[in-house]
Amino acid sequence: MTFKKKIICTLIGSLVLVSTVVAQDEHPRLFLNRTDVAAMRAAIGKYPLFDVSLRLVKPKIDKALAGPIDVPIPKDAGGYTHERHKQNYTEMQLAGVFYSITGEARYADFVRSMLLKYADLYPTLGRHPAAAGEAAGRLFWQTLNETVWLVHATQAYDCVYDRLSAADRAIIESKVIRPMAVFLSEERVHEMDRIHNHGTWSCAAVGMAGYVMNDKNLVEKALYGSKKDRSGGFLRQIDLLFSPDGFYTEGLYYVRYALLPFYTFAQVIENNQPELKIFEYRDQILKKALTSALQLTYTNGAFIPINDALKEKTYLSPEIIVALDIAFSRSGQDVNLLPVAVRHNEVMLSGAGVDVAKAIAGKKAPKDYPYKSVEYTDGAQGKDGGIGVLRYGPSEDQSMMIMKYTGHGLSHGHYDKLGILYYDQGREILQDYGSARFINVEPKYGGRYLPENKSFAMQTIAHNTVTVDGTSHFSGDVRIAERNHADRHFYEARDDHFQVMSARVTTAYEGVSMQRTVAMVRDNLFEKPIVIDVFKIVSDKPHTYDFPYYYLGQLTSTSVKYRSFDRQLSLLGTQNGYQHLWKEAEGNASGAVQVSWLAGERYYSITSAADTSTQVFFVRIGGSDPNFNLRHEPAFILRQEASSHVFASVLEPHGAWDGTKEFSEHAGSSIRSVHVAATNGDATAVEISGVDGWKCMLLISNGDGSESAGHTLVVAGREYTWKGNAQFIKQ
């Protein structure tokens, strides 16, 4: 008998034994209900992906059952006790699910024993010994992990509820579930009422405790805030944390995390108060939140790492499995979600997971996730700027350009208004550093955010945008940054041969307004789509403008005559992130600056308008890093002393390199120079000249962003007239 058949038979065997034992009670009803249980039992042996998912977790939970239960006294913030309590809640919840499916007593007994051990431990705990700050937990160093524990533990409790004695229930509820819910909703009420993913987790935890214990008071606090006046609570979180089209203000790394409590608690609400129609709420905002999260991944599944973000994080993360399965099941069985589920190669153990497995078994999944060029607004009203994505090409080899013109994004926000990121060949080409953190790696600062996260990764100079006078946007002050945002100017992606977006920020620096326009142009002049990047700065006072491109790859050539500091390196500056950049070389431009590099199997060149007043620095991340926390990656920075100035660059992918076949072609850019031909309050013209003698021009409106407005600009004596926001002209 194959392993597969064996497991399935074992599971079916258990069902036969147990089906009469399941009591006609109201549990499970929290996250799973009896419909889920029936669906899962029926799915076994029928939908391969469901069987795969069962087989994936069964050894884990069986291994857990075979070992001793350890509920250690909390000690560390990323070491054994931390990891063990995380392991415990995962195993408890899984055991609960397996009890529901199989009815086997051993799973329920495991949950019971563990919950009783927590009931022993929890009342003895004070503030966690490794806690720091206001959000200190008891079981974990921060309440966040504690809420996650409760979200899992309540599910486990619900699943085995029928099997527990009234005495056991009383102990478990009175000594751990209720005290923890009270702790979270009273002592840590500032966390629960906070409009933030920690708040969402807190609401979910408190609410699930409420539902499972039939405590209406806790449920109402969870739904409507501690004062029950809708000034906080889960619905308020949904109202404020997403824009009308589903963008989550903290960005993708955290929406991925937040989707778990949002979807988990939504399913709990749907099971217990279907009259709230939670999945319809705010015009299906939860579905939109998932869709925007997926649209803001690159073709390799990696979330766009704006703000604090781990770059390893992809849509394969477990939270997305939960959110996607529930969204598929509860919001219209959208088959466009299925390509991602196919890559998951796993579904959750629930009725929703069964629905996905069934659809995939029915061959309903398209080949690729339908990525598109798209813009999302930010802010609860959709009025706090947004984020624009331009894409060209199929999933196998897609160019993608992102511009960030959102609000700040709460405590994990970075100071990078109008920052860009560029991907190609399935990899990052112009990178956002992401966060400086080795998550859960105990020797790296307990696995928490490293000091360099604040001192470098958050700072403006760490991003592909302009730093003024060596100071980060909003003086690097989160309070100021939170009160401001960038603004969309225009976004047009109907014509995939000329996609363009433009945004502005006037509040990042006093007396300095900035407008960035990024166009992705597919034209037969070039092998691949090029990106034209025009960053216009207006000020009536002189400033120093620093404009980096964090390219990934090996520099192959540059037009800049530079002085190399190849015998001794010093730092680019002393603060605001500059202290983390080694100055490898510097030079002055004499005409356009061109930098070419090799990344993967393709060459890239950036050609930027410049003159002798343009300083160029070649830098590398890694300075002021005594603990080896940073990645040593390069950038070049254009520096301009000016009052008003326009940075204009073209990024061209070109040629090919193959190390196995030892093949190289077109290592040089086809672009000779870029220059700002004209600019005024109404419009800007950027002219691009090719090495073969061709010329082309990008015309941009600096005006009101109307598609019907006419513009006129005189460039080198010739008058250009056009209608709309931007135009690309070949001459």
Binding site for a copy of itself (CB under 8 A): 78, 83, 310-314, 316-318, 438-444, 447, 554-557, 564, 566-571, 582, 584-585, 596, 598, 618, 620, 622-626, 628, 631-632, 657, 659-665, 667-668
Of 254, 263, 423, 449, the active-site residue reads 254
Amino acid symbol at 453: N
Q: What is the DSSP letter of 33?
A: -
Report in angstroms how near the CB of residue 712 gets to a copy of itself at its nearest. 42
**Which tokens go with 264?**
């988990």
Distance CA 3, CA 642 (A): 71
Which is nearer to a copy of itself, 664 or 689 (by Cβ)?
A: 664
Which is nearer to a copy of itself, 133 or 659 (by Cβ)?
A: 659
Could you tell me if 269 and 235 are in contact, meaning their C-beta atoms sit under 8 angstroms apart? no
Task: Report the DSSP beta bridge partners of residue 386.
Answer: 377, 405
Report in angstroms how near the CB of residue 526 gets to a copy of itself at its nearest. 19
**Cα–Cα–Cα angle for 293, 297, 300, rounded to 5 degrees:** 145
Q: Which of 638, 304, 585, 631 is nearest to 456 (CA)?
A: 631
Which is nearer to a copy of itself, 251 or 385 (by Cβ)?
A: 251
Report in angstroms how near the CB of residue 130 gets to a copy of itself at its nearest. 16
Which is nearer to a copy of itself, 119 or 304 (by Cβ)?
A: 304
Report in angstroms how near the CB of residue 477 gets to a copy of itself at its nearest. 26
DSSP one-letter string for 609-639: ---TTEEEEEEEE-SS-TT--S---EEEEEE
Report in angstroms how near the CB of residue 456 gets to a copy of itself at its nearest. 12
3-state secondary structure of 607: strand
Which is nearer to a copy of itself, 569 or 691 (by Cβ)?
A: 569
Could you tell me if 645 and 614 are in contact, meaning their C-beta atoms sit under 8 angstroms apart? no
Catalytic residue list contains 257 = no
Burial string for 396-408 (b: 16+ CB within 10 Å, else e) reads eebbbbbbbbbbb
Of 412, 473, 485, 711, the active-site residue reads 412
Name the packing angle between helices 234-241 and 216-224 (round to 10°): 10
Q: Which of 389, 384, 377, 387 is nearest to 418 (CA)?
A: 387
Sign of CA dihedral 599, 603, 604, 610: positive
3-state secondary structure of 726: strand
Report in angstroms how near the CB of residue 562 gets to a copy of itself at its nearest. 8
Residue with tokens 């301009």: 640
Report in angstroms how near the CB of residue 170 gets to a copy of itself at its nearest. 35
Which is nearer to a copy of itself, 90 or 517 (by Cβ)?
A: 90
Name the packing angle between helices 3-18 and 48-66 (round to 10°): 80
Q: Which of 156, 376, 374 is nearest to 285 (CA)?
A: 376
Report in angstroms how near the CB of residue 38 gets to a copy of itself at its nearest. 30
Which is nearer to a copy of itself, 58 or 488 (by Cβ)?
A: 58
Report in angstroms how near the CB of residue 522 gets to a copy of itself at its nearest. 23
Which is nearer to a copy of itself, 413 or 623 (by Cβ)?
A: 623
Could you tell me if 249 and 410 are in contact, meaning their C-beta atoms sit under 8 angstroms apart? yes
Could you tell me if 576 and 458 are in contact, meaning their C-beta atoms sit under 8 angstroms apart? no
Q: What is the CA radius of gyration of the chain?
A: 28
DSSP one-letter string for 496-548: TTEEEEEEEEEEEETTEEEEEEEEEE--TTSSS-EEEEEEEEEESS-EEEEEE
Distance CA 358, CA 362 (A): 6
Neighbours of 491 (CB within 10 A): 23
Report in angstroms how near the CB of residue 178 gets to a copy of itself at its nearest. 29
Which is nearer to a copy of itself, 318 or 362 (by Cβ)?
A: 318
Could you tell me if 146 and 138 are in contact, meaning their C-beta atoms sit under 8 angstroms apart? yes
DSSP one-letter string for 318-334: HHHHHHHHHHHHHTT--
The DSSP bridge pattern shows strands 543-549 and 634-642 to be antiparallel
Catalytic residue list contains 412 = yes
List the strands of the sheet with 467-468, edge to edge: 467-468, 543-549, 634-642, 614-621, 581-588, 561-564
Which is nearer to a copy of itself, 295 or 558 (by Cβ)?
A: 558
Catalytic center residues: 254, 412
